[in-house]
Chains A and B, each alone.
Chain A
Amino acid sequence: MTDVAVPTTRKDWTSDQEVRWCPGCGDYSILAAVQMLMPELGVRRENTVFVSGIGCAARFPYYMNTYGVHCIHGRAPAIATGLAVSRPDLDVWVVTGDGDALSIGGNHLIHALRRNVNLTILLFNNQIYGLTKGQYSPTSEQGKVTKSTPFGSLDTPFDPISVALGAEASFAARTHDMDRKHMQEVFRRAHAHRGTSFVEIYQNCNVFNDGAFEQVTGRDHRAEMLIPLEHGQPIRFGAEGQHGVVMDSDGSLRLVEVADVGEENLLVHDEHRAEPALAFALSRLARGPHEPTPIGVFRDVDRPEYGEAMGRQIVEARQRRGSGDLAELLASGGTWTVG
């Protein structure tokens, strides 16, 4: 928003509703990160809308003192699309979860990404169905034992970033609920991007899937297990930056010790590469949140925004034909006169 807003504080962005997530839920820290970020973005509450589907994450809009719609399971991207294309002056955020976005709402997610509607989609990935009390989700690891899969789940999970990139996402990023600064930086970037911004947030469900990301996001593991992506920088990680990523001649990525290959041979991250292959390869680097996992912005490219293009067609039609005249329209099929 270019509109200069009156300075606000977190309190201004906090609704009067009691927050009802389970104590200790990762959603609290995401909510705090967003509420604290909003004053920094210089946007107006009345021009901000949060849209959600169904699931624990979907309660999010009730807690934001903005406009909000808590709609039905999986449909938030579709509803937000109608709002965003007819009201390009608004900041529209979609809050969703792994079941909501990738299972029942998979179709709407991929088509929103393909169209590149001006939306910021925050996907809270906790690899479980929390609201329905603990069934496996489309991001749960294979073999997951839950109430609905007592002998282990059979399905291969989705990687949300891979799905988004496959659906032509112009912006795809990952962050996690244990690092407010990182979340805010990613959210800021996502908000600034014109088009559909997709952010996967590793979010801990301490009741039904506690510690799902602990091996990579835990304070003691982060340095060795999270691979920060920074545009234009060699991709390296570890407490001393001693590990790195190289691309082999066949295009596949491999973890290396920097000392073994030399810094100059590390893969340099490029968010803006038109071809999504690099971002996709990075999204496949870890087979799950138990191996070194890239976080940050995978991809950020410019692509025409859908709502703007739709508005332009109207402007062009009016330039060609003038603003519509109803009497002319009704007579456009040919007329005859009686009397």
Chain B
Amino acid sequence: MRLPRDTTATARGRHTGLVDNLGAAVSVVIPRHTQELDRVVVRFAGDSGDGIQLTGTQFTSVSSVFGNDTATLPDFPAEIRAPAGTLAGVSAFQVQISDHDILTPGDVPNALVAMNPAALRANLELMMPGGTIIVNGDAFDERALEKAGYQSNPLADGSLAAFTVYEVPMTSLTMEVGKEVGVKPRDAERSKNFFALGLVSWLYSRPVEPTIEWIDRRFAGRPQIGEVNTKAFRAGYNFGETAELFESNYQVRPAAAAPGTYTNVTGNTALAWGLIAAAQLAKLPLFLGSYPITPASDILHELSKQKHFGVRTMQAEDEIAGIGAAIGAAFGGALGVTTTSGPGLDLKSESIGLAVALELPLVIVDVQRGGPSTGLPTKTEQSDLLHALYGRHGESPVPVVAASTPSHCFDAAIEAVRIAVTYRTPVILLSDGYLANGTEPWRLPDIESLPEIPVVFATEPNHTDPDGRAVFWPYERDLQTGARPWAVPGTPGLEHRIGGLEKAHGSGSVSYDGANHERMVRERADKVAGVAASIAPVKVDDPDGLGGAELLVLGWGSTFGAIAAGVRRARARGLRVAHAHLVHLNPFPENLAAVLRAYQSVLVPETNLGQLVRLVRAEYLVDARGLAKLQGLPFRAAEIESAIVAAMASHSGPSAGAMFASTTPSAPAVPPNPAVPPNASTPSSTAVPPSTAVPPNASTPSSTRGASNR
């Protein structure tokens, strides 16, 4: 490790020489007034070119290493570089750090770091009175204020009176550092995010070394830039330590976590690693055919780095070729995978249907984003569930698995592969933008304990023809799983032809016979339904035992954290609430019917207009109610909490009809309207339009602009 020992802070004359006080070996400085906090939510915001995501990620990483539990929400526009200084160009990163187990990135930031007026304006509505706002004072000139749409300077006009505001000249202090190192002012200015990181690191008593080591590693090839970054970081830290602006700083102690080795992981990385692990467990070579698309591309990037695992990755000419190549690889005996997001799933639909007919193992990863069409490329949504289940012509059922948290993407990938190779079927694995880019500490699994995925290739004929000859029948099914044999080219005597035309059961010859078609449709459906026999029952978190609570909150996918946290809050109010979270969306776990019927009321929060709720109502005839949010952002715990409160207040009255309520950040779910018949097919008539209480631009500045992502 290289540590610059002769650094000199240059944060204005009076701060010169502060670094010496810190000393290179000191890891955590606990200054004069350090307040203990159990959790803190910090939101970094700036221009999309300001390095906000990098800053937030490093703050998270240091906090995790320090032993805090963390949960993050990157929130950035679709444009790579929207016009500087505008609301559309604001990029933000929110992280909650805690001394205890937490489940969400937090509802309300305790501290907002705003690098310019636009960042302040776009994020201010998230803040509660009393919150801390740290702004880069240098950025609040007339032109920037105008670009952000401010009539007057909020730092001077008293509009921030409810907050504790710290105005720090981050740009000029950083440029001073740059001058010392001898880089051009324009280059130096770009290090101001490191100044901010240093300042916030001090404010929350983060250790210094991990960040300096990380800067050394990351900028090893560009030592001069690394040096400016390190000095800017130290200058920011020392500014906090010395400047009299801050009365105190805060300490968030490490969380009590289960013993083990931990890492911080994003959903996309965990998913890529899960695919690699699954390929090893199945002893199959991994082949990925993929086309770049936000927010799924990082899976392609990660797998492309891991060629020494024998991973073949191919950036295809389009989404269709990506899945096509994966199908071809699967026919050849590889673990074929394709990764995409909503628009790509549309394009792959025909090929998924082919894989249903071919009955070959295949994993299709859909990292969902806001739709329809190009929609909100960088924002999260759960609106592809029904598409995953039903988005193909003909009767073409596929198993669907969804990840619940970033690290759960690892397990979900293994589960998707297990189902695909065991049952010889395409499987759709659903993640979303929130899981893909969000991180959480992950206790690393014991590799040895991961269960093997047995794969048996056919090697012998499996049928005798009328002439007594042993022949191979490609659609002769396994009696237990309903899977057809996987005979790969290169196996003598098992030459066979498969294709998209309907096949005669058993022999696999082309068949247009009606009775055979019905039989094959049913065999494929039964095979997929039969997957239920191999999956774990859905767990119910109910302190009073199954059926003890008055209300069950049923979720799937990335709502896990918000629902679990919302349920905890409701319980803290004395409400009796249970939580069940589905990983398998098709088929459902076998115990789901019993679980649903054990509760008087069921609430299903989803970031869509009510897709799972429609499925469970149709499947189980239960009066489940939906809670919808479609703002490109995950639920907040408080939204779940208030919906629980509202639901429990209402169900104690006479039986209520179906409700598909929208949520807003400030409004509780709307009480059910008894006049509305419980008809799941007309949700639009009961859907509550987003209330005007929704901040017009709260952290979704890109939503009004054309997105450049394809």
Residues on A facing B (Cβ under 8 Å): 15, 17, 44-49, 51, 54, 61-62, 64-72, 75, 78-87, 89-90, 107-108, 110-111, 310, 313-314, 317-318, 320-324, 326-327, 329-331, 333-339
Cβ contacts under 8 Å, B316 to chain A: 78, 111
- Chain B residue with Cβ nearest A334: B263
Cβ contacts under 8 Å, A65 to chain B: 495
A339 to B273: give the CA distance in the assembly, Å: 25
Q: Which of B64, B308, B509 has a CB less than 8 Å from the CB of A320?
A: B308
- Known contacts A314-B307, A335-B261; decide if A87 and B351 are in contact (CB<8 Å): no
Q: Is B510 engaged at the interface, CB distance under 8 Å to the other chain?
A: yes
- Chain B residue with Cβ nearest A53: B500
- Known contacts A71-B354, A338-B260; decide if A85 and B67 are in contact (CB<8 Å): no
Residue contact A83 to B308, C-beta cutoff 8 Å: no
Residue contact B307 to A317, C-beta cutoff 8 Å: yes
| A and B contact pairs by CB, cutoff 8 A, 24 listed | A45-B492, A49-B489, A54-B500, A69-B328, A69-B499, A70-B498, A72-B354, A82-B328, A83-B328, A83-B489, A86-B332, A86-B334, A90-B490, A107-B321, A108-B324, A111-B316, A313-B307, A318-B310, A326-B447, A329-B309, A330-B447, A331-B261, A331-B263, A339-B260
Q: Is B280 engaged at the interface, CB distance under 8 Å to the other chain?
A: yes
Residue contact A338 to B489, C-beta cutoff 8 Å: no
Residue contact B325 to A330, C-beta cutoff 8 Å: no
Residue contact B444 to A330, C-beta cutoff 8 Å: yes
- Chain B residue with Cβ nearest A58: B499
A70 to B357: give the CA distance in the assembly, Å: 11
Cβ contacts under 8 Å, B331 to chain A: 49, 67, 69, 79, 83
> What's the dominant secondary structure at chain B's contact region?
mixed
Residue contact B262 to A323, C-beta cutoff 8 Å: no
Q: Is B312 engaged at the interface, CB distance under 8 Å to the other chain?
A: yes
Cβ contacts under 8 Å, A317 to chain B: 307-308
Residue contact B276 to A324, C-beta cutoff 8 Å: yes
Cβ contacts under 8 Å, A45 to chain B: 492, 495
- Known contacts A71-B500, A337-B260; decide if A83 and B354 are in contact (CB<8 Å): no
- Chain B residue with Cβ nearest A45: B495
Binary CB contact string for chain B from 589 to 616 against chain A (1 if under 8 A, 0 otherwise): 0000000000000000000000000000
B250 nearest CB across to chain A (Å) = 21
Cβ contacts under 8 Å, B332 to chain A: 82-83, 86-87, 90
B538 nearest CB across to chain A (Å) = 27
Residue contact A337 to B312, C-beta cutoff 8 Å: no
B604 nearest CB across to chain A (Å) = 34
Chain B, 281-308, CB within 8 A of any chain A CB: 285, 287, 289, 306-308
Cβ contacts under 8 Å, B265 to chain A: 333
Residue contact B324 to A82, C-beta cutoff 8 Å: yes
The range of chain B's interface size is 35 or more
Residue contact B310 to A324, C-beta cutoff 8 Å: yes
A71 to B326: give the CA distance in the assembly, Å: 13
Residue contact A79 to B325, C-beta cutoff 8 Å: yes
Residue contact B276 to A81, C-beta cutoff 8 Å: no
Chain B, 392-423, CB within 8 A of any chain A CB: none
Residue contact B495 to A329, C-beta cutoff 8 Å: no
Residue contact A329 to B317, C-beta cutoff 8 Å: no
Q: Is B667 engaged at the interface, CB distance under 8 Å to the other chain?
A: no
Q: A67-B331, A110-B317 are in contact. List 13 more A-B contacts (CB 8 A).
A: A44-B492, A67-B497, A81-B324, A83-B329, A85-B287, A85-B325, A326-B280, A330-B447, A331-B263, A334-B264, A337-B261, A338-B262, A339-B260
A64 to B260: give the CA distance in the assembly, Å: 57
Cβ contacts under 8 Å, B307 to chain A: 313-314, 317-318
A304 nearest CB across to chain B (Å) = 15
Residue contact A86 to B309, C-beta cutoff 8 Å: no
- Chain B residue with Cβ nearest A311: B312
- Known contacts A78-B320, A318-B308; decide if A338 and B497 are in contact (CB<8 Å): no
A313 to B258: give the CA distance in the assembly, Å: 40
Cβ-Cβ contact count across A and B, 8 Å cutoff: 208
Q: Is B318 engaged at the interface, CB distance under 8 Å to the other chain?
A: yes
Residue contact B351 to A75, C-beta cutoff 8 Å: yes
Residue contact B289 to A339, C-beta cutoff 8 Å: no
Residue contact B324 to A321, C-beta cutoff 8 Å: no
Residue contact A67 to B325, C-beta cutoff 8 Å: no
Ranked nearest first, the 7 interchain pairs of A and B with the lowest CB-CB distance are A339-B259, A70-B499, A82-B328, A82-B325, A324-B309, A78-B324, A83-B328
Q: Which of B490, B500, B510 has a CB less than 8 Å from the CB of A72?
A: B500
Most chain A beta-carbon contacts within 10 A, residue among B317, B327, B496, B498: B317
- Known contacts A108-B324, A317-B307, A321-B308; decide if A82 and B289 are in contact (CB<8 Å): yes
- Chain A residue with Cβ nearest B360: A69
Q: Is B336 engaged at the interface, CB distance under 8 Å to the other chain?
A: yes
B267 nearest CB across to chain A (Å) = 13
- Known contacts A75-B320, A78-B324; decide if A85 and B495 are in contact (CB<8 Å): no
Cβ contacts under 8 Å, A64 to chain B: 497
Cβ contacts under 8 Å, A310 to chain B: 312, 314
A10 to B269: give the CA distance in the assembly, Å: 51
Residue contact B310 to A78, C-beta cutoff 8 Å: no
Q: Is B436 engaged at the interface, CB distance under 8 Å to the other chain?
A: no
Chain B, 50-75, CB within 8 A of any chain A CB: 61, 64-65, 67
Q: Is B350 engaged at the interface, CB distance under 8 Å to the other chain?
A: yes
Cβ contacts under 8 Å, B320 to chain A: 75, 78, 108
Q: Is B333 engaged at the interface, CB distance under 8 Å to the other chain?
A: yes
Residue contact B510 to A62, C-beta cutoff 8 Å: yes
Q: Which of A61, A331, A338 has a CB less than 8 Å from the CB of B257?
A: A338
Cβ contacts under 8 Å, B4 to chain A: none
Q: Which of A46, A79, A90 has a CB less than 8 Å from the CB of B327?
A: A79
A310 to B325: give the CA distance in the assembly, Å: 14
Residue contact A82 to B490, C-beta cutoff 8 Å: no
- Chain B residue with Cβ nearest A89: B490
Residue contact A111 to B321, C-beta cutoff 8 Å: yes
A64 nearest CB across to chain B (Å) = 8
A64 to B259: give the CA distance in the assembly, Å: 60
A140 to B287: give the CA distance in the assembly, Å: 38
B484 nearest CB across to chain A (Å) = 14
Cβ contacts under 8 Å, B498 to chain A: 68-70
Binary CB contact string for chain B from 67 to 88 against chain A (1 if under 8 A, 0 otherwise): 1000000000000000000000
A200 to B679: give the CA distance in the assembly, Å: 58
Most chain A beta-carbon contacts within 10 A, residue among B309, B311, B444: B309
B678 nearest CB across to chain A (Å) = 41
A67 to B360: give the CA distance in the assembly, Å: 14
Cβ contacts under 8 Å, B656 to chain A: none
Cβ contacts under 8 Å, A111 to chain B: 316-317, 321
Residue contact A336 to B262, C-beta cutoff 8 Å: yes
A323 to B205: give the CA distance in the assembly, Å: 41
Residue contact B490 to A46, C-beta cutoff 8 Å: yes
- Chain A residue with Cβ nearest B309: A324
- Known contacts A15-B497, A111-B317, A331-B444; decide if A81 and B273 are in contact (CB<8 Å): no
B462 nearest CB across to chain A (Å) = 16
Cβ contacts under 8 Å, B67 to chain A: 336, 338
Residue contact B327 to A66, C-beta cutoff 8 Å: no
Residue contact B285 to A86, C-beta cutoff 8 Å: yes
Residue contact B262 to A68, C-beta cutoff 8 Å: no
Q: Which of B311, B336, B495 has a CB less than 8 Å from the CB of A67?
A: B495
B351 nearest CB across to chain A (Å) = 7
Q: Is B706 engaged at the interface, CB distance under 8 Å to the other chain?
A: no
Cβ contacts under 8 Å, B445 to chain A: 330
A69 to B488: give the CA distance in the assembly, Å: 12
Cβ contacts under 8 Å, A84 to chain B: 328
- Chain A residue with Cβ nearest B439: A333
Residue contact B497 to A70, C-beta cutoff 8 Å: yes
A54 to B264: give the CA distance in the assembly, Å: 47
- Chain B residue with Cβ nearest A319: B308
